[in-house]
Chain A
Amino acid sequence: MSNLEEDRFEAYLRTFRPLRPDPLPEFRARSARFRFPFAWAAGAALGGLMLLAGMHDWQVEDHGTPRVVSVAPQVTQSGPLRLRDINSLLTKADSLKAGLDAVTWKPRRVQVGPGQQSALAVLGEDKEKL
């Protein structure tokens, strides 16, 4: 057999791959740890989240005893709702929810003084589309 034939035959033999042995038990446990290197970190993060959720539930339960639902303060003045009115309502309200309830938009009839025109009314009359 010439050297070339020898090399070719050798290359052909190498296409048969020896079967892999079973991993050593000593390496098996270790490779599982290496396969999921961040598993412990993910577990710790999950645990932390669960702890936070638990604490939150505890706090809610602690304050969750029946209580008087706060009544939203009403806008006493007539006229448009302005930013300072919203600030005032939010600060006076017992809770954020009550404050938000108070500032929800309600239709108000705006009184226009003599010689004045409502911009909305003027725009409503304009039939030309912009």
Chain B
Amino acid sequence: MRDRDEIEKLYRHHGAALVLFAASIAGSRNSAQDAVHRVFVKLLDRGLKYEVTDAKAYLFTAVRNTVLNDHKQRARVVDLDPDIAWFDPPAQDYHAQRQLQLAIKQLPEDQREIVILHVWGELTFGQIAEVLRISSNTAASRYRYALNKLREHMTAPEGSRVQS
């Protein structure tokens, strides 16, 4: 068992990215935060096992499983809410923030997860492969597709975007 300080440190360092990742699956930021909290409360009760070699990948996997289990229990598809902010935009550019959220929303779920894990979770493709149970190459190629789509969406004129 690792101590409480380490778990608190993990929450401080990865909490924001974990909630973002969970929100990209759950749709709602509140349920995402709830899922992340539950994962950490469990960790505090049981401790982080020594056999976990990659704590970051472990946390993202645990959060993903928790959110997917919640989805199964609720048996409903949650639409991503673009009005609830996920990011603190640079130079308070809230227009860009909304554009980015819409762009993320339009990505297929598998690509969306990979973009968030790599860009904001700062996971390597190897770690992403572990979390999503796919190969590193698949993760890398999906990431490139996703990045291109995001870029197209964010640089396209306002009226030409496809709203989903």
Which A residues fall within an 8 A CB radius of B?
1, 6, 9-10, 13-24, 26-27, 30
Contacts and interface: CB of A to CB of B under 8 A. Distances in A.
Interface string B67-96: 000000000000000000111111000001
A17 B90 CA distance: 8
Contacts of B120: 13-14, 18
6 contacts: A6-B144, A13-B150, A19-B87, A21-B18, A21-B33, A24-B41
Contacts of B62: none
Contacts of B119: 10, 13-14
Interface in B1-35: 8, 11, 15-20, 29, 33
Main secondary structure of the interface of B (DSSP, over half): helix
What 10 pairs across the A-B complex have the smallest Cβ distances?
A18-B20, A15-B90, A16-B87, A18-B16, A17-B88, A21-B19, A21-B15, A20-B16, A21-B33, A13-B119
A19 B41 contact: no
B148 interface: yes
Contacts of A17: 16, 87-88
Contacts of A26: 40-41, 44
B36 interface: yes
A15 B93 CA distance: 11
Contact of B37 (A1, A6, A19, A24): A24
Nearest to A5: B151
Contacts of B150: 9, 13
Given A16-B88, A20-B15, A21-B16, A27 B36 contact: no
Nearest to A26: B44
B33 A22 contact: yes
B15 A1 contact: no
A16 B97 contact: yes
Contacts of A22: 33
A29 to B, nearest CB: 12
A96 B89 CA distance: 73
A115 B10 CA distance: 96
Contacts of B144: 1, 6
